[in-house]
Structure 1
C-alpha cells in the first residue's frame, strides 16, 4: 500500500530544476568535500545529467529540492532532475532497477536487503542521522523500551523502516521483538489515531509525521534513531546504479560533494530550507513544525568511503539480529560489496 493513498504531492511528475523553482535571498556557504574544493569549476563542457530519485513529501528529503533550486548541484557541475519515486524503499529500488533514475536517496535499512539479494546499486554517501521515533501514549505509562514488553506497537507497514529500527532497539535491550511485543499495521494516516483510541500503546513512525503526532496527541518519546544504540549512525544514504557509476564515477563523486554541502547548510539554516520547502512544495506542514523538525536532525553524519562501509556493516548486523538479513550472510563482506569507495 502506498502511503500516498488519497494525497497527491504538489509537483508529481514535474521536473524540479533551478530555473523552475523560486529562489530566495541568501548566499550559500561553500562546504569543501573532505578538504577538497569542488572540481567542476575549472572544467569545460556541459554539466552531467543525473536523475535523482526522492520522496517529495519526506521532510528529510527537502534539502535535495532546496539544493536544486539554489544551484548547489549546478555549482558542482551537475544537472540534477528530481524523480518522484514513490513512497517506500520498494518503489525506490524499482525506480533504479528499471532505469527510471540514476541515483536515489533512501533509508539505509531499506537498502540493505535488496542489495543482499543482488540489486546492482552501490551506496556512496550518507546524508544525515535518524528521522524516526518510537512514541507512547501517556495513558500507557510506558517510559522505557523495557516497558513495552507485552504491549502493542502500531506502524504503517509490516516491514516499515521504523518497525525494523525499533525491533533492533528492543532486541539490543534484551526484549524479543516478535514474541515479547505485539505489532499492528494500519493505514499510514491512522497510526496516530490508533494510539489515541487506545488500540495500541505506542507507535513507530517517520518524521515529519512522528514529530507532528507527538505534538498532536501529547505522546512520550521512548526512543529515536539519533540516540542510544543509533547515536552516530547514518539514516539516509544515496545509492547509484552500477552502470551509471561505472560510466560517470567523477560525476558521482561530485554528487557526493554536493550532497554533503547541502546537508551541512541545512544543519546551519533549517528555517531557510523549511521556508523554501513550504512555499514551493506546500507539504501541508506548519512552518514552525517543519523548522523544528529539520533542526532536530543530525546533519554532520554523512559517511563516505571506509566510514560508510562500517555503517553498512552495522546495519546488516542489526537486520540480521531481527532475521531480515540471512543468517549465512557475512555483514562485513556484504558492506564491502555494496558500497563504492569514492576516496580510492
Structure 2
C-alpha cells in the first residue's frame, strides 16, 4: 500500500472502492473480513452514538471486520447522544477519534478544543417536518409558525436556521422555536402545540411516517445539496502519534459507507439484531439507511472547503463568533491525511 506521502484522494477512493468490491464477496460468503496486513494492529477507541441510524455503519464495520482488514483494532466507545459529550470524550482521552455532526463540532473547536477533523461520512440525516393541519407546503409557509425541536442550539435547530435564513426568513424573529423532550417532538406537533418538527433520523423518519407529516426541508437537498453531514475527528495528541493509523481509519470509513450505500439491507439487519431500536423494523431501517448520501465523504482539501462553507453558514445564524475567519478556521481544525 502506498505511504501517506504518495496517497492522493483518487488513489484513496480507488483503494476503498476496490476493497469494497472484495468486501462484498467476503461478506456474502463468510460474513467476516480477513485482515490484509500482518503487522500488529494499532488500537483506536472510536466514539459513536449507537442509537443513531447513521452511525450503524461504524458498528457494522467493527462487527464484520472492515476495520480489521485495514489492520486496525477499533473499539467502539458509546459517548451518549450529545455532540458535547463526544467532544468531552475526545478532550479527556476517553476516546481517540469519534463521529459527529458538523453542527456539533464547530463551536467547541472554535473555542480551542484540541481536536482535528479528517474525513466525512455521509450527508443528510435531519428533517424539517410540518403537520397537515398547519397547511405549510414550502419554506415561505414557515414564517410566523412554531417549530418544535429537542433543544435550543441543537443541530436540527441550527441546520434549519441556516435553511430559513437563506430563504429570506429571519430564524430568530420570524419563527418561534419550542424546546421539548427528545421523544416528544412528534407528539408536540401532532397535538397542535407546534406547527413543525426539526429532528434527526431515525426519529425524524419515524414521526414523519407515524403522524403523516410533510417534509419541508432536509440536510440532503436545497442549501445542503452536496454537503457532508457527519465528520470524523481525532484528539490532537493521538493524531500526532498515529497519523498512519488514522489515514487507514479514513480509508475504512469511506469503504464501510460505500458498502452501506450498496447493501443497506445488510447493515439494517445487523442494526436491528444488535441494537434492537424501538419501533423500527428491518424494512424501516433499510429505507432510512438507503436514503442517506453515502457517497459524500470529503477528505483533504475537499473537507476544508466544506468546513469553510459550514463555518460561513454558522456565522450567518450567529453560532460562530463574527470575528472568525471561515477559511482560516477550516484550515486550523482539519488535517489533511493525504498530504
Q: 2: CA distance between counterparts of 1:337 and 1:35?
A: 28
Equivalence for 1:35? 14
Partner of 1:307: 302
Cα displacement (A) at 1:282: 1.0
Given the alignment, which residue of 158, 170, 179 partners 2:164? 170
Q: 2:101 aligns with which of 103, 107, 120?
A: 107
Shift of 1:110: 0.7
TM-superposition CA deviations, 1:4-50 (whole Å, max 9, x none) = xxxxxxxxxxxxxxxxxxxxxxxxxxx97233477x97755310100
Task: Rate the CA distance shift 1:314–1:152 in 2: closer, same or farther, 3 A.
Answer: same
* Structure 2 counterparts to residues 4-83 of structure 1, below 5 A: 33-36=12-15, 44-83=38-77
1:229 is matched with 223
Q: Is this contact kept in 1: 2:37–2:69, CA < 8 A?
A: no
Determine the C-alpha separation between the residues in 2 that align with 1:82 and 1:32.
28
Residue in 1 aligned with 2:320? 325
Of 93, 97, 102, 2:91 maps to: 97
Matched, 1:292 2:271: no
Question: Partner of 2:114 in structure 1?
Answer: 120
Q: CA deviation at 1:281?
A: 1.5
> After the TM superposition, which residues 164-243 of structure 1 pair with which residues of structure 2 at under 5 Å, given as runs?
164-243=158-237
2-side partners of 1:326 and 1:50: how far apart? 33
Aligned 8 A contact 1:124 1:340 in 2: yes
The correspondence of residues 269-288 of structure 1 with structure 2, limited to 5 A, is 269-284=263-278, 285-288=280-283
Contact 2:39 2:71 in 1 (8 A): no
* TM-score using structure 2 length: 0.90
8 Å Cα contact 2:38-2:71 kept in structure 1? no
User: 2:324 aligns to what SS in structure 1?
Assistant: coil
**How far apart are the structure 1 equivalents of 2:110 and 2:282?**
39
Distance (whole Å) between structure 1 residues aligned to residue 288 and residue 187 of structure 2: 21
| Aligned residue in 2 for 1:262 | 256
Is the partner of 1:205 in helix, strand or coil?
strand
Match of 1:19 in 2: none
| TM-score under structure 1 length normalisation | 0.89
Aligned residues: 313
Query: CA deviation digits over 1:126-153, x for unaligned, max 9?
Result: 0001100000001100011110110000
CA contact (8 A) 2:37 2:70 kept: no
The equivalent of 2:26 in structure 1 is none
Distance 1:107 1:183 in 2: 20
Is the contact made by 1:158 and 1:185 (CA closer than 8 Å) also made in structure 2?
Answer: yes
Contact 2:80 2:86 in 1 (8 A): yes
4+ residue stretches of structure 1 with deviation over 6 A?
none
Within 1, Cα distance between the matches of 2:11 and 2:99?
A: 21
Rate the CA distance shift 1:42–1:222 in 2: closer, same or farther, 3 A: closer
List runs of 5+ in structure 1 lacking aligned partners. 1-30
- Which structure has greater helix proportion? 2
Q: CA RMSD in A?
A: 1.5
CA contact (8 A) 1:155 1:186 kept: yes
State the secondary structure of the residue aligned to 1:239. strand
Alignment-derived partner of residue 159 in structure 1: 153
**CA distance in 1 between partners of 2:65 and 2:152 (Å):** 39
| 8 Å Cα contact 1:32-1:257 kept in structure 2 | no
Distance 1:217 1:41, change over 3 A: closer
